[in-house]
Structure formats: C-alpha cells, structure tokens
Amino acid sequence: MVIEMLEYILIGLGILNIILLICLLLRRNNNNDLTERLGHFEANINKEIGNFKYEFSTALLKDFESLNEKIEKKLTYINDAVNERLDKNFDKSNKTFMNVLERLTKIDEAQKKIDSLSSEIVSLQSVLTDKKTRGTFGEVNLEYILNNAFGSAQNGIYETQHKFSNGYIVDCLLYAPAPLGTIAIDSKFPLENYQRMTDKTKSKEERMQAEKLFVNDVKKHINAIAEKYIIPGETTEEAIMFLPAEAVFAEINAYHAELLNYAYNKKVWITGPTTLISTLSIISMVIKNMERDKYTKVIHEELNKLSVEFTRYKDRWDKLSKNVKMVNQNIEDLHITSEKIQKRFASINGVELDKLENKEDLESLENIK
C-alpha cells in the first residue's frame, strides 16, 4: 500500500512540474489575464497539494503505526516461541548433561574397579610365579570343586592330603564306587614354559623351544603321578591329573594330541576345572543312585515284613469279628427272651391268667425259658 501511494505522489509531482513550467512560459509572454488565472490555479493546486500532503502523511503515519504494531506482535510471538524453544532445549540439554554426568560417574567407578582388578591380576601373577604358591592354588581349587560335588570331606567320599604306603602324599583320594574304585587326584600347574610359548613378543624360535619344554614338563608330571599314585592294592589302575588353568588344558587338547596319548598309555586322565567338575558330578550321581538303590532294597524288605504282620492282623481281626457277631446274636436272642418274660410277668401281675382262652396260651407260658 505504501509503495502504491509513493507511485501516486511521483505522478502528481510530475504533473505539477509540467503545470509550473507552462505557467513560467505564459508569464514570459506577458499575458496578464492568463497569468492571473494561472495564479489562482496555482494557489488551488498548492492548496490541494497541501491537503494531499497532509492526508498522505496522516495515512502514511497510520500505516506505519499499524505496520509497527503488527511487527511488534510478530516479534513478541517470535520472542515467546524462541524463549519456549530455548527453555525446552535447555531442559533437554540439562537432562542430557545430568545423564552424561551419571554415565561418567559409573565409568569412573568401573575404571576404579578395573584398576583394582588389574592390580589383583598383577598380584595373582606374582603369586603364580612361585611354584609353591602355584601348588597351593591348585590344591585350593581342587578342594573347592570336590566340596561342590560331594560336600564336606567328612562324608567319607574323598580324603585330602592322603598318605600312601610308599610315603607319597596325594592331593585327593576319591573313594568312587565300583568299577572305578579308589582314584588318586593330584594337581599340577606347568606355567612358566606355557607363558613363554604363548608370549607373542618373543621370537618364533624362542616360542618353539618353550613349547618343547612345556611338553617335557607335562610328561614329567604324568610320569610322577603314574609312579607315585597308582599303587596296586591301594588304588585303582588309573589316576587323575588336575590342571587348575583351563587355558593350559585347552592348549593340550587343541595342539598336543601326543600328550593325551602319552597320558592314556600311562593310565593318567588329564582334566581341567570344567572336565573335572563334569567327571565328579557323574560320580556323585552314581553314588546317589547306589545309595538310593540300597535304601530301596531295605524299604522293600521292611514292606514285606509289614505285609506278613498285616496278614496276621487281618486273620485275627476276622476271628474277632466272627466272635463279636456271635456274641451280638446271642445278645439279640437274650433280648427277645427277656421281652417275652417281661410281657408274661406283666400279664401275671395284672391277674389275667384266668382269661387265657385256650391251651396254647398255657403251653406258650410253660415254654418260657
């Protein structure tokens, strides 16, 4: 609207300039009459232009005020929308920030646990570097597995640190049911050469040399168990070598079949924590089934004895029942006779004896027992 009004103003000013130019030309021609008319016309034009300017300025002011009001409303709306959006984004950002802080706190706690665990692992590695502490570690693991499978050693299923007649002490002696018999279980932990042969920082030649030494270590342990803990008359013909490290057991099973064959020929079973738990669990189930069968036999014998007693009880009860029935019948007969006697005495007491009509009544009276 404002642009259209400006266009009208420009057109009006152009026409006014043309009129003024005509007036100047006429004045130069000294035409007084025309000059006077033109003066009046110019005055009217100037008045109309003044009115037009006033009306235009008023309309323009109103338009600017209306436009300003609309712009202010729009800006207020935009400001409110922006503030609302900023508040929402601030809340979201605040929540996100709090979640990040919470996650960072958990990460920090986890990092502390990891640091603690790493220190414990380092401590465990330092412990396992000593052969004596390694042996203790294997014995503790073995006893823990036995305790989980059979309970306390006081149950008599196994015995720890058993001393044989040859003077050697085995970590565990398991009293398994036949045909297994008494089985010796000893813990071994060949670690040094295993760590060297699995260390990727070492050269291939060093790792191959460590692998050969590892195989020799395992064979030495197998020989020691076969010679010390397989004793005719005291143990069965087999023994168990327990490796407390699952990684060592997996290495032997995956890459050293010759060690398994060597142990088989020596009648030594190589087990890790998982396989030993499985083996002992099977033995535990066999023992429980044997105990259940033993008690089932005892229960069956007792039930047979109870059946004999119950048969005797039934015979005696039948005899007693017959006697009771007989006594009951006699009591019924006595009751009938007593009723008859009572009726007869009632008749006698009522002096009704002379009213007996026939001989049959007298005979019935005489037949009273």
Same domain, 274 and 204: yes
Q: Which amino acid is at 299?
A: I
Examine residue 364 and state whether it is found in any structural domain, yes or no: no
Same domain, 155 and 268: yes
pLDDT of residue 311: 82
Report whether 192 contacts 199 (CB < 8 A).
no
Same domain, 40 and 119: no
Same domain, 200 and 286: yes
Same domain, 114 and 35: no
pLDDT of residue 155: 75
pLDDT of residue 65: 79
Examine residue 280 and state whether it is found in any structural domain, yes or no: yes
pLDDT of residue 3: 47
pLDDT of residue 278: 87
Stretches in the chain below the pLDDT threshold 70:
1-46, 48-50, 52-53, 56, 111-132, 350-369
Examine residue 210 and state whether it is found in any structural domain, yes or no: yes
- In the block, residue with structure tokens 């600017």: 64
Domain that holds residue 107: 99-128
Same domain, 28 and 122: no
Q: Which two tokens stand for residue 12?
A: 């009006």
> Which tens digits make up the pLDDT trace of 98-134?
887 788 777 777 766 665 554 444 344 544 556 667 7
Cα separation, 281 vs 286, in Å, equals 9
Direct distance between the N- and C-terminal alpha carbons of the chain, in angstroms, rounded to an integer? 149
Examine residue 248 and state whether it is found in any structural domain, yes or no: yes
The DSSP secondary structure of 270-287, one letter per residue, reads EE-HHHHHHHHHHHHHHH
Report whether 141 contacts 241 (CB < 8 A).
no
Report whether 203 contacts 256 (CB < 8 A).
no
Give rounded-to-5 percent helix, strand, coil for the chain.
Answer: 80, 5, 15
Cα separation, 241 vs 270, in Å, equals 5
Same domain, 213 and 233: yes
Report whether 157 contacts 150 (CB < 8 A).
yes
CA atoms within 13 A on the CB side of 108: 6
pLDDT of residue 67: 76
Same domain, 112 and 238: no
